[in-house]
Every structure is written in structure tokens, then in C-alpha cells.
Structure 1
């Protein structure tokens, strides 16, 4: 994940900071408890495409 891109992206639901998760290739937002997928190196920043984070994924 490009660091510059990660620095400017925010969660569309909560406007919170995003964290890149290497193992799932997703962007996590701990404020909204959502994980946004990355497809072909493009973050899909749509709430409808995000999945809810599970308790075990919260650090």
C-alpha cells in the first residue's frame, strides 16, 4: 500500500484514520469497525463493499 495514499485516505463513514492490514490486504477503520478491500492495488472506499471487523481483528 502506497504510504502517501494511505496518509490522505479516510474512512467514508466515520472520517477516521485507516490502517493497512497486510495479511488481509484491506484498510481497517477502528472507529467505524469496517474493513475496506483493496482490488488490483485500488482501495474500494465504499461502505457497501466494506465488511464488519470481527472482535479478533481489533488490536
Structure 2
């Protein structure tokens, strides 16, 4: 994912900054403890698609 895109994307819930977890292909919102998936290079920024950070990532 491009750094330029990461600079403009924000969490859809709290509008906070996101961190890219390249290993799990997710965008992490530490404030809301949500992980938004990145599928085929496209971030899925729907709150209903996010998982909470307490859960293990899907393999």
C-alpha cells in the first residue's frame, strides 16, 4: 500500500490515524482497537468489516 494513501486515510469511526500492519494486511486503529482489512491492495474501511484487536487474525 502506498505511503501517500496511508497519509490521507483515517479511521471511519473516530477519524484517528491508522497504522499499516503489512504482515496481516490490515490497517490498525489503536484508539478504537479495530483492524480494517486490506484486500487485493484495497483498504476496506467499513466498520462492519473490521475486527477487534482482541481476536486473532484470520489465516
CA distance in 2, matches of 1:54, 1:27: 15
**Structure 1: runs of 5+ lacking an equivalent:** none
Matched, 1:14 2:14: yes
Moved over 6 A (4+): none
| Structure with the largest fraction of helix | 1
Q: Counterpart of 2:35 in 1: which secondary structure?
A: strand
**Structure 2: runs of 5+ lacking an equivalent:** none
Q: Counterpart of 1:7 in 2: which secondary structure?
A: helix
For residues 1-40 of structure 1, what are the structure 2 equivalents within 5 Å? 1-40=1-40
Q: How many matched pairs?
A: 55
Give TM-score scaled by structure 1 length.
0.88
CA-atom RMSD, angstroms? 1.2
CA distance in 2, matches of 1:17, 1:33: 12
Give TM-score scaled by structure 2 length.
0.88
Deviations 1:5-42 (A, max 9, x none): 00000000011100000110100000111000001100
